[in-house]
Amino acid sequence: MKKLVFLLLASFIVLSCKTEEKETPRPYLSLTPPTTKKIPKTLKEHDTTRIDNYFWMRLSDEQKNADTPDAQTQDVLNYLNAENDYKNAAMWHTKDLQDTLYNEIISRIKKDDSSVPYTDNGYSYYTRFEEGNDYPLYCRKKITPDAKEEILLNGPKMAKGLSYFAIGGRSISPSNELLAFGIDTISRRKYTIYFKNLITGERLNDQLTNTTSSVAWANDNKTVFYVTKDPVTLRSNKIYKHVLGTDQSEDELVFEEKDETFRTFVYRTRSDKFIVIGSSQTLSTEYRFLDADTPNGDWKVIQPREKGLEYRVSHYGDHFYIRTNLNATNFKLVKTPINASTKENWEDVIPHRKDVLLDGVTVFKNHLVLDERKSGLSTIRVMEWDGSNDHYIEFNDPAYAAFTTTNIDFDTSVLRYGYASLTTPYSTFDYNMNDKSQQLLKQEEVVDSNFATDNYISERFFVTARDGAEVPVSLVYKKGTKKSADTPLLLYAYGSYGSITEPFFSATRLSLLNRGFIYAIAHVRGGQEMGRHWYEDGKLLKKRNTFTDFIDCGKHLVKEGYTSSDHLYAYGGSAGGLLMGGILNMEPELWNGVVAAVPFVDVISTMWDETIPLTTFEFDEWGNPKDKEYYDYMMSYSPYDNVEAKDYPNTLITTGYWDSQVQYWEPAKWIAKLRELKTDDNLLIMDCDMETGHGGASGRFARYKRTALTYAFLLDLENKTEE
């Protein structure tokens, strides 16, 4: 009944305001925001005491999965549903706009699209969508004249009747006759691996549960290696060997990663010669290998783990080629004999360079290809093994992304790479490494007769941060959009884990650009755009640089007349949601609105509890709060712990009930505390998807419902509510 009253009231307000420009007070002011109970929990840590009134919102997986909710679970569900009801009522007047945006966004997507095929072991593999379907068909054709299409997996059929469905890793056996694939129907990223006979079309009886979704095939076509997860922390910690036709309970444990700060994984080298087990944490890696012809053989460590030593392995001939940070902050490429692989045998192939980050390496029979980054921009470098014909592929946009993609064929002179910019849709090229000719295989089609790349303008410049660091900013807007104090601008950033935010094109974003928004990316510290030091200067005891960089970029955009604080908006998700929480507390008056997607905001409590997924192997990213130095520093920026009685800007928070990366209770606690303490009457809403996790809806189109809500939230704050 309360929900109905809310909706009727919101509808009445919309009708009464329909004929005139909407002004404050806004419709939501007539609604009563949800409240929930407070149960003070005293948390004594070091020499401090924290009181967390909303700690009770945390549920265990057992509680969430129970057929009948207990009292605590029901209280949590009631609160989450109340927040969703309030969000629906507060945004009811934008329903037509949301529908318009959603239909507009999905109308730009080619409904019967297909991927660019890649070749592997005599077959051409690709995915394709049929009109009206949310999920793709996974297909292949034999590379022979008049070969018929084989549908390996029928996504629409497999997903039928499921509220969430995701196909994970897909691995073909060396014989081309068997397919291993992972399925997740919960959105917790815990996959069950199934096997299919591609000759008969029958699914085998083998099932491997609680996995990371993919396998590495041995050359006998019957043995696979796979990874399982800790049932509580979801840490990838064990590697098993499975022989087809046997029960999972009989599988042999071949490796267990007992260090809780590491996770493990397994893969097959591009040369098909070795199976490789990797262990990694933020600052250290370790690899061991096994001849793929002898799945029952002994594993050999390439280089034992050391604190601060990172490396990644490729195989070619009698050597391993290793990208490493050994005496090389920005990484270098070395080679080492397979039978003498420890670091004292490493020989430089591409030495370390202070001004160039070595992002990645792709090894071909006759060529070596390097993904590099200089001055914040990606480059692709091609050379022959003798060092001749050493050159870079040329690109012209002021801000762009270029990178090698699916290059499975080892003995070829053709490199496949991807390219995009803020004005150029994603494009796939085949590049001849000998004569430097290239062919555009496909450019993402924007189904919009009014779209043309030259209708939009891209810029790139540097902002001087408060400590003198030069922070790159990439932005895009539609021709005719004036830079002024009245121009809305959405500023985005991530800034964690060394993850690089590339200036990609987005057809979805056109719905904002075409309505007068400028879209900007702040390449803040914590990412790796400017080299490894950019990451080192934005984590641990330097994490606040991420927040101040973003704020300084926002202030620069205001100072230079791109926008004003009345029309400046901020957006970030996950660790970028932490950034949003930080800037809300540090500089709330700078923004008219903030969108925090699946935000990591309860830093101290999450990093203190080692049973929570992701905690243990992120100590090198955020610090361990059980160390008082890190505790004090984390307390200085933790969004949840720094909410105060003051004015906050309009804020939209999103989350998923089944999120395994940032648990739903972090944003739920955060919004409850914001409601309790904030002194303004600005809009504060949360969208909690009760069916999904960190990545949102699994369907091809369903995910854009939340995008439409986000855009409607921004446009409504700009009074741009035309249908």
Q: What is the mean pLDDT of residues 656-660?
A: 85
Among 36-40, 168-172, 407-411, 445-449, the range with the most confident prediction by mean pLDDT is 36-40
* 32: pLDDT strictly greater than 70: yes
* Lowest-confidence pick of 3-12, 185-194, 660-669: 3-12
C-alpha distances (whole Å) from 717 to each of 467, 540, 678 are: 33, 35, 19
Q: What proportion of the chain, given as a percentage, has pLDDT over 70?
A: 95
pLDDT in tens, 324-358: 999 999 999 999 999 999 999 999 999 999 999 99
Q: Is the pLDDT of residue 13 over 80?
A: no
Q: Is the pLDDT of residue 434 over 80?
A: yes
Q: What is the mean pLDDT of residues 177-190?
A: 89
Assess whether pLDDT exceeds 70 at residue 14: no
Q: CA 39, CA 409: separation in Å to the nearest integer?
A: 60
* Alpha-carbon dihedral angle through residues 314, 320, 325, 330, given to the nearest 10 degrees: -60
Opening angle at CA 104, ends 99 and 106, nearest 5: 100
Scored b (16 or more CB within 10 A) or e, 597-612 reads bbbbbbbbbbbbeeeb
Surface-to-core class of residue 146, CB atoms within 10 Å of its CB (0-12 exposed, 13-18 middle, 19+ buried): exposed
CB 444 within 8 A of CB 429: no
- Per the CB < 8 A criterion, the answer to whether 381 and 370 are in contact is yes
Residue 432 CB burial class (10 angstroms; 0-12, 13-18, ≥19): middle
Q: What is the DSSP letter of 114?
A: B
Strand partners, 319: 316, 337
**Per-residue model confidence (pLDDT) at position 691:** 83
Question: What's the mean pLDDT in 173-178?
Answer: 97
Q: Fill in the amino acid letter for 679.
A: T
- The residue with tokens 């990371």 is 212
How far apart are the C-alpha atoms of 509 and 582, rounded to whole Å? 25
User: Under 8 Å CB-to-CB from 225, ≥6 apart: which residues?
Assistant: 215, 216, 218, 239, 240, 241, 242, 254, 266, 275, 277, 295
Q: How many other CB atoms sit within 10 Å of the CB of residue 11?
A: 15
pLDDT-based confidence at residue 693 (cuts at 50, 70, 90):
low
* Four-point Cα dihedral 280, 262, 300, 256, nearest 10: -150
Give the pLDDT of residue 696.
Answer: 56
679: its two tokens: 């002194």
pLDDT on residue 698 = 53
- Give the pLDDT score at 44: 95
**Local confidence band at 246 (pLDDT 50, 70, 90 cut-offs):** very high
pLDDT of residue 699: 63
- pLDDT at position 282 is 83
Measured over the CA atoms of residue 549, residue 551, residue 554 and residue 559, the dihedral's sign is negative
> What pLDDT score was predicted for residue 61?
83
| Residue 344 pLDDT | 97
**pLDDT for 363-377, tens place per residue?**
999 999 999 999 999
- Section 243-263 average pLDDT: 95
Residue among 689, 694, 698, 716 flagged as catalytic: 694
The per-residue pLDDT for range 291-322, each reduced to its tens digit, is: 999 999 999 999 999 999 999 999 999 999 99
Q: What tokens appear for 721 in the block?
A: 């509510």
Structure tokens at 276: 């490789």
- Give dist(CA 551, CA 518) in Å, integer: 17
Q: How far is CA 704 from CA 405, 512, 595, 597, 710, in A?
A: 26, 14, 15, 14, 9
Tokens of 297: 């053989």
Q: What is the pLDDT of residue 697?
A: 58
Q: What is the pLDDT of residues 495-516, one digit of tens each?
A: 999 999 999 999 999 999 999 9
Supply the DSSP string of 484-542, one letter for each residue: STT--EEEE----TT--------TTTHHHHTTT-EEEEE--BTB-TT-HHHHHTTSGGG
Q: Respond yes or no: is residue 659 known to be catalytic.
A: yes
Q: pTM of the prediction?
A: 0.87
- Mean pLDDT is highest, among 182-191, 255-264, 668-677, for 668-677
pLDDT at 6 over 70: no
Q: How many helices (H) and strands (E) does the chain have?
A: 14, 37
- Identify whether 694 is a catalytic site residue: yes
Phi, psi of 608 (to 5 degrees): -80, -30
Q: Cβ contacts of residue 596 below 8 Å, gap of 6+? A: 572, 573, 577, 580, 581, 584, 651, 652, 653, 654, 667
Nearest-angstrom CA–CA distance, 328 and 319: 21
pLDDT band at 233 (very low <50, low <70, confident <90, very high): confident
The H or E element containing residue 653 is: strand 650-656
What integer pLDDT is reported at residue 367 of this predicted model?
A: 95
pLDDT band for position 9 (50/70/90)? very low
**SS percent in the chain: helix, strand, coil, step 5:** 25, 30, 45
HEC sequence for 363-374: ECCCEEEEEEEE
- My answer on whether omega of the bond before 649 falls inside 30° of 0, hence cis, is no
Name residues whose C-beta falls within 8 Å of residue 462's C-beta, 6 or more positions apart in sequence.
470, 471, 472, 473
**Could you give the percent of the chain with pLDDT greater than 90?**
82
Average pLDDT (422-438) is 96
User: Count of CB atoms within 10 A of residue 630's CB?
Assistant: 19
Q: How far apart are CA 405 and CA 419, in angstroms?
A: 10
For residue 403, the cross-strand partners are 418
Active-site annotation holder among 549, 602, 659, 687: 659
Q: How far apart are CA 540 and CA 619, in angstroms?
A: 8
Residue 481 is predicted with a pLDDT of 97
Q: Let me know how long the chain is.
A: 723
Q: Is 315 a catalytic residue?
A: no
Give the pLDDT confidence score for residue 20 in this predicted structure: 37
Mean pLDDT of the chain: 92
pLDDT at 617: 76
Bridge partners of 442, per DSSP, are: 428
The band of 188, judged by pLDDT with boundaries at 50, 70 and 90, is: confident
Across 138-150, average pLDDT: 94
The tokens describing 60, both together, are 């265990």
CA atoms within 13 A on the CB side of 223: 19
Of the spans 18-27, 385-394, 641-650, which averages the highest pLDDT?
Answer: 641-650
Residue in 213, 284, 574, 605 annotated catalytic: 574
